[in-house]
Amino acid sequence: MTDKIRINRLSEAMGVEIFGIDLNTLDDATFGLINEAYLEHQMLCIRNQKLDPQSLVDFSERFGEVLPHDNLKFTLDEHPKILVLSNDVDQNGNQIGVIDAGDAWHTDHQFKKTPANCTILYSLKNPSQGGATDFTNMYTAYDALSEKMKARIARLRGHHSISKLKNKRVEISGSREDAIAFYKRQEREIPDVEHPLVRVHPVTGRKSLYCSPRFTIAIKGDGLSKEHAETLLDELIAHSLKKPFRYRHTWEDRDVVMWDNRCVNHRATGGYVYPDIRHLYRTTVEGEAPVAA
């Protein structure tokens, strides 16, 4: 099967698109090629896929344990490991998916003890405008820091929280009903965590910067004052969002896009309005506890 496969770079920053694969009939050699491309390019887009929900779960399980979602309201009834991201409504006018998923820069499950490995999105319908997803490469963001900054942050830790209520760097979306109660409940259920600010990828061994405006609410370390930590966090976030590290993905219907949360931050960019529909399925694969350099 691998002789029909074509791989093109999507940008200088990261990412490749792959043609000539049918994920319904994935053999081990083709999976090996996808996995290699995933580790080398951090973000993949496999074009022209016609997948049913089970095939998406089967493909995701090749990478590890597919996690159940916290938000059961918008998972598929028959496939609770698939979360629906959508601005569509049912016949009664009720929302059928999460509308505001990922609207601030983040990496998935950074607020957990074991954050995610990859996230996989399957695009069923795209709006006529907007709906792109932005990515930034946290390996190259780290590599581009000065040696002085690398030494300064080497032993620091990021403090991460799921709660938007604790985070002055993000806004609460107006489209989320009961936002205060929702985030209060999450605060109670998911305790904050600390992870190394510079993490080492468990497979490639490369170092990346591990912070995001959505989940990182503080930086901690011996002798670091709160005030300096705040300035440092702002500086690192601004650095991570510089143009050379970034790629914007404009979706085509039937794209399967996956990214490595251990070295990539992302955000949904919005910019579309109902009845212009954006509709995707999402799975998330369990990762491992981040390890410091």
Q: Determine if 45 is a binding residue for ligand SIN (CB under 6 A).
A: no
Which one, of 95, 108, 98, lies nearest residue 214 by Cα? 108
Q: Supply the minimum distance, in Å, between the C-beta of residue 84 and ligand SIN.
A: 11
Cβ proximity to ligand SIN: between 84 and 198 the closer is 84
Instruction: Quote the least distance from Cβ 102 to ligand SIN, whole Å.
Output: 2
Tokens describing residue 149? 């900054």
- Compute the least distance from the CB of residue 249 to ligand SIN, in Å: 8
- Applying CB under 6 A, among 15, 97, 102, 196 the residue interacting with ligand SIN is 102
**268 part of the interface to ligand SIN, by CB under 6 A:** yes
Q: Provide CB contacts within 8 A for 108, sequence distance 6+.
A: 115, 116, 119, 261, 284
CB of 101 to ligand SIN, least distance (A): 4
Site string for ligand SIN, 125-144 (x = CB under 6 A): --------x-----------
Q: Least distance to ligand SIN from the beta carbon of 85, Å? A: 5
Nearer CB in complex with ligand SIN: 102/213: 102
Pick one of 44, 82, 85, 141: the residue that binds ligand SIN (CB under 6 A).
85
**Is residue 101 part of the contact set for ligand SIN (CB under 6 A)?**
yes
Choice between 30 and 137, CB closer to ligand SIN: 137
CB of 133 or CB of 140, closer to ligand SIN: 133
Q: How many chain residues interact with ligand SIN (CB under 6 A)?
A: 7
Q: Tell me how far, at minimum, the Cβ of 78 lies from ligand SIN, in Å.
A: 21
Query: Which of residues 160 and 282 has its CB atom nearest to ligand SIN in the complex?
Result: 282
HSE-CB for 44 with a 13 A CA cutoff: 22
Contact (Cβ atoms closer than 8 angstroms) between residue 159 and residue 167: no
Chain contacts with ligand SIN (rule: CB under 6 A): 85, 101-102, 133, 266, 268, 282
